[in-house]
Amino acid sequence: MQYRRLGRSGLQVSELSLGSWVTYHNQVNVTAAREMLAAAMDAGMNFFDNAEGYASGKSEEVMGKAFKALKWPRLNYIVSTKFYWGLATEGAGINRKNTLNRKYLSQAIDGSLARMGLDFIDLVYCHRPDPHTPIEETVWAMSDMITQGKALYWGTSEWSAGEIRAAWDIAERHHLHKPVVEQPQYHLFHRRRVEQEYARLYEDVGLGLTTWSPLASGLLTGKYRKGVPKDSRGARKDMGFLVKALTDTARNTAVDQLVVVAADLGCTPAQLAIAWAARNPRVSSVITGASKVSQLKDNLGALEVIPKLTPEVLARLDEICQPVVA
């Protein structure tokens, strides 16, 4: 495992990391989370991603209990959470849902700290942009979270390049803590934002990236080519919104060809897809997901595939994915 700086910050994150969306609480209980986190740490992962909204706060509770059981020195791991959606269990309070206003943010961090049982969170993200709150208000609230010692770094997720630059400029002007990272979707079928829209930000503001869904929710493993397997994310009732993309004919035809490339390289399609995301030097960490420890172990094999991605292999992948890329 190699470690990369989170953008221009001094924080070093493992090139592959592990997130808890869909899985923790729903598919992975505290015992399984503990086993999975231990396997991840043994392999060199040091960054674990979470969000207030995952399983409506329960994902943070599961991860927090697993950390407590593991008794790792706090310096050895980096944990994140994200704010914006609010918690379904607390109702649709007007200042508690789909917002980045100061009131919500200043209380949301306390809820996450309590659920995780931690004194501070390393990395906090604004989970989506909020067009109804001035960016300046959000920047002050995020910076204050750091000044208060409740978080160490902050960033954004799925913000436009213009919004990220506006936030950075405000922080620069007022000598506030600046956003250091963005968390965008990035995989073989979804790459324009990372490769084109954000292109100037890497040098101009030192933006780091922790990217999500390297397997497009499992599509890039090849397991959706004959329909939705039982026991997969696509079969979950609450994930119905993913089924159209997971079973898309053009995308699965491209996956057929990716399976051939993977076989030529002696790896699985999942390893190929994760290695492809990690080969981009702008990416600080590829956040992987797994519902079982066996998947995590399989996915860690991507580390050996990164050096095999020669310009010729990358050109082959571009050609295969070009018709379905976003």
Any idea which residues carry the catalytic annotation?
54
Q: Which is nearer to ligand NAP, 31 or 310 (CB)?
A: 31
Q: Give least dist CB 64 to ligand NAP, A.
A: 15
| Terminal Cα distance for the chain, rounded | 29
What is the C-alpha to C-alpha distance for residues 98 and 54, in angstroms, rounded to an integer?
A: 14
Q: Which is nearer to ligand NAP, 19 or 64 (CB)?
A: 19
Q: Which residues contact 293 (CB under 8 A, 6 or more apart)?
A: 32, 35, 36, 39
| Element holding 311 (H helix, E strand) | helix 311-321
Rounded to 5°, angle at Cα 315 from 313 and 318 = 115
Q: Which is nearer to ligand NAP, 135 or 290 (CB)?
A: 290
What is the C-alpha to C-alpha distance for residues 221 and 323, in angstroms, rounded to an integer?
A: 19
Q: Which is nearer to ligand NAP, 208 or 214 (CB)?
A: 214
Residue of this chain nearest to ligand NAP (CB atom) = 19
What is the C-alpha to C-alpha distance for residues 192 and 247, in angstroms, rounded to an integer?
A: 22
DSSP per-residue letters across 252-266 = HHHHHHHHHHHHHHT
| Element holding 319 (H helix, E strand) | helix 311-321
Binding site for ligand NAP (CB under 6 A): 19-23, 49, 157-158, 183, 212-218, 221, 223, 232-233, 270, 287-291, 295, 298-299
Q: Give least dist CB 190 to ligand NAP, A.
A: 10
Distance of CA 47 to the CA centre of its chain: 10
Q: Give least dist CB 56 to ligand NAP, A.
A: 15
